[in-house]
Structure 1
Amino acid sequence: MRYKQLDQMSFADLEVYSVLPEHPVWSRAAELLDFSFADEICAPLYSTRGPRPYAPSLKLKLHIVQRYYNLSDREMEERVIGDLFIKRFLGLPVSFIGFDHSTIGLDRERMGSALFDACHHHILAQAKQKGLWGDNEDVWLIDSFHTNGHIARLSAYRLIKQAILRVVNHLKRAHPALYRQLGRELDLQPLTQKLPAKANPEDIAASFSRLVVLAYGLLHWFEKEAVRAVFWSWKNRDRQLTSLERQAILFRILTENTLPGDPEDPNDPDRAYRKRPRKERPANQLLSSMDPDARVSKKRSITYRGDKIQVIMSAANDMVLLAEPVAGNETDAHRLQELLKAVQQKHDVKPHSVVADSAYGRGYHRRHLKTEGITFAAPLQAVGDNSTGLYSNEKFTYDSKGEAVTCPAGQVTQKKNYNRHLEGTQYSFPKQVCHTYSLREQCTTSVQGRTVFISDYYNEFQEAKTFNKTEEAKKLFQKRNAIERKNNELKNHNGLGHARTYTRERRRVYVKVVSMVVNLKQLVKQRNPLTLGFVRKRPPCLVLPVLQVQ
């Protein structure tokens, strides 16, 4: 693949760049990192025919600079034109004004998150070759933070209306002939109909029902034989796929938010559909047809509508090894093994220890990391007295060999029932025994007697309880503050706390580029810890090549 060759540096360019002082970040980044790997891994994206494209290595540096300053595409276009430090880092002549803001956005779409992830790991590999991380005695830290997706909280009516409009408007832009046929065969009046200022509940319910009927009628219209013939002959397959995706989103929103009415109800003979009660809606329901990947989650009484970013970093060198956006309502521990395995396979390295908070301390993670020979330090979730003030399970003694539980009064039970969902066994004491117990009121209020749950990973939890009291564990927990600072840098300093785009795929692009930015800053700090500002001293004059006149 041959890329576009920029104009040769003129004497004026050399004179201007020689006067500029060394930039504390970009000048050292150009010395420490080789970005030419992007030209090779991105070559399949371009055709060998037609105009030559700009080199992917040049555009990768452009994306890194953009996220470093947290700029929009239009702001980045202006910055490249007027910032000489950036032009020198990119290797552009002083007079270059070629980048349009659309070029920047289209290149992000073309590369996608997979190639940006590959670029992130290429930079990590270069840092590893320089000895900046990769020690087998290293400690890896893992944590997550929430992002705000700027998703408005919509009612069921507005959510369905939004989904219908996205299907119809896409058809209007991408297939005008099919849109005109839709206007002739389907009545779209419920989309523009407005309720009176003082509408009663019956009018609101009837309006909702008419909107749902229109939505199902729209989906049924796409299945008509005459429409199917036109739709499946659509030449632009990408736009056809987009239409199918939006239809699927509309159908899912309808199933999650509506219920068929009762035609035999004498009080409601005309209501075909009604709202599904909020308690009956799925926990993983769609919040917006614009951003179907966003989910709602809560942390410390704060509600987030967006994603959650899982971060793994090296405690020895503060390098971000991996950052992945996941669903906002996904538990922190769900992908721990998957994320650790991804880093180990890409860089052929294994940590000595992994440190996380109590949300990651699941029993199956503790057992897996133990078999891998990795020390896992995570606090146990607090287990004190019950909220009712009764004895907690800690008061009971479990015999794993005899599979029996002993209560504080010395009573033993082997009566058990396995719970596959909770991954553990429920032991129960006979009610006759509990009724004769003098401290029964402090133990249980159940008429059927006391029950005690024993996890399948009981031994792992007991080992963790003992290990967490050792000096080694205390030293590991002291290192966990580093990832809190790194999360603050990713979220607040580099803009990951507020989503700029819809869909998780696009947000993953930003996550990968920001990961490269924070690692680049860390490389500069480790190589040049004492000179972070400008050195205002004119460098020695460059020896210019002598031109030979032929």
Structure 2
Amino acid sequence: MAHIQYKTFGQLTLSDYEVFSSVPAHPFWSRVEEVVDFSFADQLCAPLYSTKGQRPYAPSLKLKIHFVQRYHNYSDREMEEAILYHLHLKRFLGVPVSFNGFDHSTLGLDRDRMGSDLFDACHHHILSQALAKGLWGKEDDRWLIDSFHTYANIAKVGSYRLIQQGILQIIQHIKRTYSKLYTHLSQGCPLKSFLKRLSDQAPEGDRLVLFSRLAVEGYSLLHWLESERAKPLFWAWENDKQQLRCLELQGILYQILQENTKPVNPYGDGQAQPQYKELPKKEKPTDRIRSAYDPEVRGGHKTKSMTFTGDKIQVLESRQNGLILNTEPIPGNEWDGDRLVPMVEEMVSRYHVLPKQVIGDTAYGTGGNRQKIKEMQILLSAPIQRSTNPTGLLESNWFVYDPSMDEVTCPLGYSTSKKVRNNKNQGYQFKFQGETCQACPLFDQCTTNEKGRTVFISDFYEIMEQGKSYNQTDEGKNALRARYDVERTNHEAANHHGLRKPRTRGRESLRITSKLTAMVINVKIMVKKLAESIQPFYRYKNCENRVKAPVCPN
């Protein structure tokens, strides 16, 4: 690969040194260079640039700018202003006092060019430097895992507005990128109702008519784009990227229509056009699109009563010094425990470091996770999820399972070895005889099934029992108390660095933001542990010179 020559500022002038030397040392930015070397980005990002043409700014410089932006939770425009006027940031970036080369669009384009995978690589480069300095990776280290929710940068809308968003996206995209197709669309597929607002005060009959017309126009637009008249023009689109984007927007609109509308008379029944009505909330899929502008966003539950619309961010942390080892955004409706094993496996395979223990909450303590983590020679510590009987009758823990005999015994001593495989829940359903259960004095308290009580026994019964016994020991109780340490990191990332309400849209952009946040938190820890302390700047060094406020007489 050819060597890339980046744009340099040369040696700073005497006036630059005079200005920077007059600025007091910053407690953070003046110490970062002592513990972190950002030069790895120049080689890492070299394939993104050409050896011809104008020399680009060094990726290490731009990585520092992204780093500063995430530290302060600046927007792109705020970061542009900070580079212009903040002297301590100019000194940290190594640019002259007169430097004004970056604007807000440059920052956004650079993030898009790098992508989340390169930012993930930058995160691991910094983490490797922390490992080389002994800040994590010891044999007795414990890894903590948890997630926190985010609120998506979207407006919550109903089905009517959601369909409008899908139609508008397609029309605006075609109008902006392919004027010839837009002209034919305006003539061949006139849309009249998709811009009309649906007032809450409108009569119910008018609301139903407007909704039906909007759904019909949505399907009509999709049908016209697939018609014989539009196909030759559509597939003659010269810009393949914009053509693919149009196909994606059509898929989004079609999914929105399928998830929110229901045909009343799909074939017209002698009328001029078919009619549609909105699906009841209970009939809509839980995994439905919530915004046409950010179709990856899903609704989730933080607790049984608290819901949110957005993503969740998984955080894997080393308890040794609180460094973030791995972080990944996931859909808001995804089960937290599904990402435990992939995140741990990635860290073990990348660094060949095995922790003593992985600690998480109840969502991570499933039998499958315990088995896979045990195969990696790591102990998984997590609370056991308490099983409940939805009927309110006797719960399964009243029954005793004997693995050696492979049979289940009820509270009154009746046993059964008759079982049926339950592939969905990964276990067996043990069945008691109906005659035995009906003759039992606890029948009314045990089951309402005349054919007899059934008890589910998981394939991971033994490893779950081992986990339950370990949690009752002093060591297990201490481990479960240690898992709360990760909450401080979650609070810092969510509230101090803007991940609770991110400005971005799309999971790819959120992944970039989460990787940069992990870098910021890790560097803050490295500075605290490794860099030399700096005396804070006081306006008056001697207490005698300070102006004291007057005291009111009694």
Query: TM-score normalised by the shorter chain: which range applies?
Result: over 0.9
1:140-539 → structure 2 map (5 Å cutoff): 140-193=143-196, 199-262=202-265, 271-300=274-303, 301-383=305-387, 386=389, 390-528=393-531, 531=534, 533-534=536-537
Residue identity in the other structure for 1:351: P
Cα pair distance change 1:510/1:155, threshold 3 Å:
same
CA shift for structure 1 position 528: 4.2
Q: Deviations over 1:143-179 (max 9, x none)?
A: 0000000433322221111100000011111112211
Q: Partners of 1:199 and 1:380 in 2: how far apart?
A: 52
Residue identity in the other structure for 1:317: N
Partner of 2:550: none
Cα pair distance change 1:270/1:204, threshold 3 Å:
farther
Residue identity in the other structure for 2:326: L
Q: Partners of 1:244 and 1:536 in 2: how far apart?
A: 62
Cα pair distance change 1:81/1:204, threshold 3 Å:
same
SS where residue 54 of structure 1 aligns?
A: coil
Question: Would you say 1:6 and 2:24 are equivalent positions?
Answer: no
- Indicate the larger mover: 134-143 or 489-498: 134-143
- Indicate the larger mover: 69-78 or 218-227: 218-227
The CA RMSD over aligned residues, in Å, is: 2.2
Cα pair distance change 1:408/1:167, threshold 3 Å:
same
Q: Partners of 2:509 and 2:524 in 1: how far apart?
A: 23
SS where residue 230 of structure 2 aligns?
A: helix
CA shift for structure 1 position 389: 5.1
Q: Deviations over 1:93-151 (max 9, x none)?
A: 11111111111111111111111111000000111111111223211000000000043
- Indicate the larger mover: 472-481 or 121-130: 472-481
Partner of 1:49: 52
Q: Partners of 1:194 and 1:382 in 2: how far apart?
A: 48
Question: Would you say 1:36 and 2:39 are equivalent positions?
Answer: yes
Residue identity in the other structure for 2:67: I
Question: Residues 25 and 534 of structure 2 are in contact (CA less than 8 Å); yes or no, is this contact kept in structure 1?
Answer: no
CA shift for structure 1 position 447: 2.8
Q: Partners of 1:94 and 1:17 in 2: how far apart?
A: 8
Q: Partners of 2:416 and 2:316 in 1: how far apart?
A: 44
Question: Residues 21 and 537 of structure 1 are in contact (CA less than 8 Å); yes or no, is this contact kept in structure 2?
Answer: no
Question: Residues 21 and 535 of structure 1 are in contact (CA less than 8 Å); yes or no, is this contact kept in structure 2?
Answer: no
Partner of 1:58: 61
CA shift for structure 1 position 25: 1.2
Residue identity in the other structure for 1:43: A
Residue identity in the other structure for 1:190: S
Cα pair distance change 1:195/1:291, threshold 3 Å:
closer
Cα pair distance change 1:525/1:268, threshold 3 Å:
farther
Q: Deviations over 1:231-279 (max 9, x none)?
A: 2222222222221111111111112122222368989985432223332
Residue identity in the other structure for 2:484: N
- Indicate the larger mover: 231-240 or 317-326: 231-240
Question: Residues 7 and 58 of structure 2 are in contact (CA less than 8 Å); yes or no, is this contact kept in structure 1?
Answer: yes
Question: Would you say 1:25 and 2:28 are equivalent positions?
Answer: yes
The total of aligned residue pairs comes to 537
- Indicate the larger mover: 333-342 or 427-436: 427-436
SS where residue 325 of structure 1 aligns?
A: strand
SS where residue 420 of structure 2 aligns?
A: strand
CA shift for structure 1 position 524: 0.8
Question: Residues 267 and 274 of structure 2 are in contact (CA less than 8 Å); yes or no, is this contact kept in structure 1?
Answer: no
For structure 1, the 5+ residue unaligned runs are: 539-550
Q: Deviations over 1:356-413 (max 9, x none)?
A: 01111110111111121101101101246x4665322111111123221100100011
TM-score normalised to structure 1 length: 0.93
- Indicate the larger mover: 100-109 or 388-397: 388-397
Partner of 1:547: none
SS where residue 309 of structure 2 aligns?
A: strand
CA shift for structure 1 position 44: 1.3
Question: Would you say 1:82 and 2:85 are equivalent positions?
Answer: yes
Q: Partners of 1:382 and 1:245 in 2: how far apart?
A: 43
Q: Partners of 1:198 and 1:350 in 2: how far apart?
A: 62
Q: Partners of 1:267 and 1:203 in 2: how far apart?
A: 21
Residue identity in the other structure for 2:210: S
Q: Partners of 2:177 and 2:135 in 1: how far apart?
A: 51
Cα pair distance change 1:513/1:286, threshold 3 Å:
same
Residue identity in the other structure for 1:372: M
TM-score normalised to structure 2 length: 0.92
Q: 2:71 aligns with which of 68, 71, 74?
A: 68
- Indicate the larger mover: 324-333 or 131-140: 131-140
Q: Partners of 1:389 and 1:63 in 2: how far apart?
A: 55
- Indicate the larger mover: 194-203 or 336-345: 194-203
CA shift for structure 1 position 221: 1.6
Percent sequence identity is 47
Cα pair distance change 1:180/1:387, threshold 3 Å:
closer
- Indicate the larger mover: 427-436 or 367-376: 427-436
Q: Partners of 2:75 and 2:104 in 1: how far apart?
A: 9
SS where residue 225 of structure 1 aligns?
A: coil
Cα pair distance change 1:534/1:481, threshold 3 Å:
farther
SS where residue 191 of structure 1 aligns?
A: coil
CA shift for structure 1 position 416: 1.5
Cα pair distance change 1:232/1:131, threshold 3 Å:
same
SS where residue 418 of structure 1 aligns?
A: strand
Residue identity in the other structure for 1:443: C
Cα pair distance change 1:222/1:271, threshold 3 Å:
closer
Residue identity in the other structure for 1:14: Y
Q: Partners of 2:119 and 2:226 in 1: how far apart?
A: 39
Cα pair distance change 1:500/1:21, threshold 3 Å:
same
CA shift for structure 1 position 201: 3.2
1:89-104 → structure 2 map (5 Å cutoff): 89-104=92-107
Cα pair distance change 1:431/1:203, threshold 3 Å:
same
Cα pair distance change 1:434/1:531, threshold 3 Å:
farther
Question: Residues 153 and 505 of structure 2 are in contact (CA less than 8 Å); yes or no, is this contact kept in structure 1?
Answer: no
Question: Residues 216 and 274 of structure 2 are in contact (CA less than 8 Å); yes or no, is this contact kept in structure 1?
Answer: no
